[in-house]
Amino acid sequence: MSKLARTGVWPGILLAAGILAVCLVLALALGPAPLSVGRIWSLLFAGPVKGDLDNAIFWQIRMPRVLTAALVGAALAVAGVILQDLFLNPLTDPYVTGVSSGAALGATIGIVLHFSNLSATTVLAIIGGLGTLVLVWMAARRRGRIDVFVLLLAGVTISYLASAVVTVLMIKANQDMTQIIYWLMGSFSGRGWPDVTIALITIPFMALPLFFTREMDIMLQGEKRAMELGVEVERNKRMLLVTAGVLTALAVSVSGIIGFVGLVVPHIVRLLVGPGHRGLLPVSLLAGASMMVVADLLSRTVIAPNEIPVGVVTTFVGAPLFVYLLRRGRRA
């Protein structure tokens, strides 16, 4: 038991929330278009005003982008925690379920069909992601039970299949190749309020597992033991899988495939607050949001007016931090 677990989870949660607040303020205050702190303060209280360029930069470009990044980061981190624990596999990230590849296929179809309306592509990505979840689910269901190992393998297989179809589409419609590649790389560039609206749907799905932290703790000891201890394993598993799948599908559909956050944030948080879900889930949620917001801030400011793909930044920021914590964790 770590120290935090003994003193309760609230100090950790409050600290993570504080860090997220600082990250949000920084991300809103800094950007490639220089706006002074005083200007931002007045813009914040002015609310969205039409016809003012600074106002448009702050309210129409920066704000929705930062909020989308925060929600996507949080959703991926929560999905990562759930899936790592369900599969009892530390290498699991939200993308192994194949949901992200399905979403990528949906988005690719949208791009290839030239839907001028960009949110149509987002909706197709959600349909692709959730459709894959249903397929994987059907593959893994046997006599009313979900076999997590079959689910894992089915997810990986379907994700290869979807990637193959994406590749074929890319070759067939190679005028759109660049657009598809950029979508796959993931980005928050140009995300507006419609994207925030979609990302907001993740909130109830992020909140749901918070009510099942005790069951999740017990299920860490294996399905058999959990059943002996009176946990309704199948029902919880179903609920958690659908939650993680929906979170991944929504996150991927607005941002593309951004690696590392869903894999590493849960591990980092586990090292800091321990494996108990009452602390792990909320702190991962907040830390995922912070990490994505900071990564996006760096991606749009470091070489402005160009942008670094955000997935590259998450890896550069996350990898050294993770290795440091792993080594420190070993010594302790």
Partner 1 sequence: MPTTRFGRLTAALLLVAVLALGVTALAACGSDSSGATASSSPAASAASGAITVTDDEGNQVTLDKPAARIVSLAPANTEIVYAIGAGDKLVAGTTYDDYPAQAKSLPKVGDFNNPNIEKTASYSPDLVLAAGGIQDKLRTKLESLGMKVYVVDPKTYDGTIASIENVGKLAGAEDGAIQVGDKMTAAQQTVQAAVGDLPKATTFLEIYSKPLMTAGKGTYISDMIGIAGGENIGDQAGTGFPNFSTEVLVKDDPQVYIADSGSMSKPGDIKQRAGFAALTAVKDGHVYVIDDSTIARPGPRLADGLLSLARYIHPEASVSQ
Residues within the interface to partner 1 (CB under 8 A): 31-34, 50-53, 55-57, 59-62, 64, 114, 116-118, 171, 174-179, 182-183, 187, 189-193, 300, 304-307
Question: Is it true that the peptide bond before 266 is cis, omega within 30 degrees of 0?
Answer: no
Nearest to 154 by CA among 75, 222, 99: 99
Question: What is the amino acid identity at position 32?
Answer: P
Nearer to partner 1, 49 or 134 (CB): 49
Nearer to partner 1, 147 or 176 (CB): 176
Nearer to partner 1, 2 or 60 (CB): 60
**Beta strand 145-146 with 141-142: parallel, antiparallel or unpaired?**
antiparallel
Whole-angstrom distance between the N-terminal and C-terminal Cα of the chain?
A: 13
The nearest distance, CB 323 to partner 1, in angstroms, is 30
Nearer to partner 1, 67 or 74 (CB): 67
Nearer to partner 1, 87 or 182 (CB): 182
Cα separation, 55 vs 61, whole angstroms: 9
The nearest distance, CB 295 to partner 1, in angstroms, is 15
Contact predicate 28/40, CB 8 Å: yes
Cα separation, 269 vs 324, whole angstroms: 13
140 Cβ partners below 8 Å, 6+ apart?
146, 147, 148, 150, 151, 154
Cα separation, 323 vs 313, whole angstroms: 16
Phi, psi of 19 (to 5 degrees): -60, -45
The nearest distance, CB 161 to partner 1, in angstroms, is 22
The nearest distance, CB 143 to partner 1, in angstroms, is 45
Cα separation, 203 vs 220, whole angstroms: 24
The nearest distance, CB 280 to partner 1, in angstroms, is 34
Token code pair at residue 22:
């600082």
The nearest distance, CB 186 to partner 1, in angstroms, is 10
Contact predicate 169/109, CB 8 Å: yes
Nearest to 73 by CA among 303, 267, 228, 294: 294
Nearer to partner 1, 191 or 270 (CB): 191
Nearer to partner 1, 184 or 261 (CB): 184
Nearer to partner 1, 86 or 250 (CB): 250
The nearest distance, CB 76 to partner 1, in angstroms, is 20
The nearest distance, CB 162 to partner 1, in angstroms, is 20
